[in-house]
A = this chain, B = another copy of it.
Amino acid sequence: MKLLQDQIIQNGKVLSENVLKVDTFLNHQIDPVLMQAIGNEFAARYKDTGITKILTIESSGIAPSVFAGLTLGVPVVFARKRKSLTLSDNLYTSKVHSFTKGETNDISVSKDFINHEDTVLIIDDFLANGQAVLGLLDILNQAEAKTAGVGIVIEKGFQPGGNLIREKGIRVDSLANIKSLANGKVEFFEEETVR
């Protein structure tokens, strides 16, 4: 997605060979115009797949998800990263290890909102080691819901997450797929020609 790649080039900060900071438009400050374009792109790619719900994870997945949900006409459910006292025991839970933060969190989704009749599009901001998406897939598995695919804003294609998920036969749509962050420079894989 050209608009997104341009923003990454213009405003992303390469902090190391593994870390890209996009706090100016995605992870801390949010650009609503870009998020709408991203949400609409996911919606266009998945419009004929019978999506009934979008599943994301707090916090940076929420903005692109609500725009995709608006266009697809479906609700968005966000997994919580730890149990809240106002949520009951009626939960699907999974464990997610964050390599960035060096910690493992429980993620949870209420059983009220996803069940075996749902066809779900997972959306997240980053795909690197794939742990968050694997946790969300685990939750969909527990719910016996159908997974239509995984929409990712920025994939770090030089890390193993994308392959881990594609090898399971799951469709992954990354709107920007980074080949390398070497020498302080962002290099993208060519955009997929087949959608």
Contact = CB atoms under 8 A, between A and B. Distances in A.
Given A59-B78, A100-B86, A66 B32 contact: yes
A120 interface: no
Tell me the number of copies of this protein: 2
A70 interface: yes
A9 B113 CA distance: 19
Contacts of A131: none
Contact of A80 (B25, B28, B67, B69): B28
Interface of A: 15, 19, 21, 23-25, 28-33, 35-36, 58-59, 62-63, 65-67, 69-70, 75-78, 80, 84-87, 100-102, 109-110, 112-113
A33 to B, nearest CB: 7
A29 B59 contact: no
